[in-house]
Amino acid sequence: MVKINIDGQELELEAGTTILEAANEVQVNIPTLCYLEDLSVYGGCRLCVVEIIGEEMLRPACTTEIEDDMQIKTHSKKVREVRRNIFELIISSHDIDCKLNCLTCARSTNCELRDVGEQIDMQEMRLDAIERNYVDDSSSHSIVRKPNKCIACTRCIRKCEEVQGVGIFTKANRGPETVITTFKDRGMGNVDCTNCGQCIQACPTGALHESYHYNSVWHFLNDSSKFVVVQTAPAVRVALSEGFGEQPGTVATGQMVAALRRLGFDRVFDTNFTADLTIMEEGHELIDRIQNDGQLPMFTSCSPGWIKFIEHFYPEYLDNLSTCKSPQQMLGAVTKSYYAEQQGIPPEDIVVVSVMPCTAKKFESVRPEMDKDVDFVLTTRELIRMIKEFSLDMMNLAEEPYDKLMGTSSGAADIFGASGGVMEAALRTAYEVITEEELENLDFTAVRGTNGIKEAEVEIGDLTLKAAVVSGLGNAKELMERIEAGAEYHFVEIMACPGGCAGGGGQPIPTNQEIVEQRLNSLYEIDKHKSLRKSHQNPEIKQIYAEYLGEPGSEKAHELLHTSYVVRNI
């Protein structure tokens, strides 16, 4: 243990603790832009410098470990002056024309630069702005990169490499011209990017944001010749309220549905409906593979970031992927076929919009294999923008239900937004289909939680099903290496984002582990209190099979609900 003094407060902490961590213990907020929890310490921005009594040089709090009897001043006159100088240098090369750029910036409502400026009492800008004139990178279907806003904090580099195991970013140039770019500046759409959007969550300045679809959605909402349908993913309902001042995990399902109707959507459907449909198709596919010596392990196919990852890095395992489309794509497919037929609406007049916690869903919607099932994808953040633009006080709207025919869902579908949720939902159905017995305990707690890799063995009749659940692509890489080394599983669920969809790249910022856990807990609470908790018992699912699809795995089901994948050599 080490005894120190921070701003007059005596502390005793473990050796190895940094000054930044020690300051947090006594609620002293030291500004920083390059530091981000769960990433390696970079120490590049130098905003966190502190004064240590007896030393002439200031030291960065994020990289300096405490020493016995250390006397630390975190906000002395010298420290404040140096921080202002450093901050001026940082923002001098940031695209900060307040007449336009700040107002239109993706981070206009929660800008970390603005927060730091306020914290250090930045009252004037003595340096002339450096015009860098980089061209925006719009080569990706999912993510836009704005190099002129980049402050080279490297948080996106570290998130992509250390958490996701992909590593598409690199630093280029020197001095004020330093910028984060991609290999040979080829653009994010032309490298091994999985579109997961975790770099957006890491970026403090708006130099990275999703490719916006909301203006196109506004256009079709005002086109009376189009029938505009919207679907909402399970993880959106436990995060959307954060954009309106509520605590993370606050459930706003009914208010969200009401807001979407106010915006002008003709029908509001629940992606949970096709999450149940996915379980019917995927569960029966798994049973068929197990009983008929099919390719195992079978990997889930709900996460488009994971799909693109395996296409790039492990294409030899593409046959192990479930052929099921994701719930998003399934709902688009059945809306433009089954629902169109039921309502007598020409499919070409239907516009399907998704609200997703995910940026990779934007790329998924334009894959040629998907037959344009979904026309536009909004992130949770984009829907927050639209609701605010419409001046709706969403949390005070009276709750409204989803539209019928594709609005009823089970609790198993709600937990699709959690890491382990797809696995748990599938097991509830697979158990009863295989054994023809009722499952008494529906909670498979072994596959729950935020651990990157979880393993479980589940007894289903005479079968001991070996399962693994993974969230975060860095952990997916580790599991794939285990499989290559001989580890055996029957069923593997992989989601690209840490914690699953609750931690998606399109969710409100910030999204950290604590916030993800609050959202996950809410999803499990929704499931817990639903009377309908098994996908195969959903009456609307039974109806669509009886009236249209026939049975799981039928020729019609394969035509609409299944897909294929490609090898990507970049």
In three-state secondary structure terms, 303 is: coil
Let me know: does 260 contact 230? Beta carbons within 8 Å. yes
Q: Which of 210, 311, 364, 382 is the catalytic position?
A: 364
| Active-site option among 369, 389, 459, 481 | 369
Which amino acid, one-letter code, is at 524?
Y
The reply to whether 551 belongs to the active site is no
369 is catalytic: yes
Catalytic residue among 501, 522, 534, 535: 501
Q: Choose, from 282, 311, 424, 493, the residue flagged as catalytic.
A: 282
Which one from 156, 302, 358, 497 is the annotated catalytic residue? 302
Residue 436 designated active-site = no
Q: Which of 418, 403, 380 minimizes the C-alpha distance to 214?
A: 380
> Coil, helix or strand for 549?
helix
Active site residue 364: yes
Q: Is 370 helix (H, G, I), strand (E, B) or coil?
A: helix
The catalytic position among 112, 285, 382, 424 is 285
Rounded Cα–Cα distance for residues 381 and 197 (Å):
12
Q: Could you tell me how many helices (H) and strands (E) the chain has, helices first?
A: 20, 17
Based on the residue annotation, tell me whether 246 is a catalytic residue of this protein. Answer: no
DSSP3 helix / strand / coil % (the chain, rounded to 5): 45, 15, 40
Q: What is the token pair recorded at 517? A: 């856990």
Q: What is the amino acid identity at position 536?
A: H
3-state DSSP of 151-215: CCCCHHHHHHHHHCCCCCEEEECCHHHCEEEEHHHCCHHHCCCCCCCHHHHHCCCCCEEECCCHH
Q: Distance (Å, rounded) from C-alpha 419 to C-alpha 283?
A: 17
> Exactly one of 149, 361, 362, 454 is catalytic; which is it?
361
Beta strands in 461-533 (DSSP E): 463-471, 491-495
Token pair, residue 183, equals 């290999």
CB 286 within 8 A of CB 301: no
Q: 285 catalytic, yes or no?
A: yes
- The catalytic site residues sit at 282, 285, 302, 322, 361, 364, 369, 501
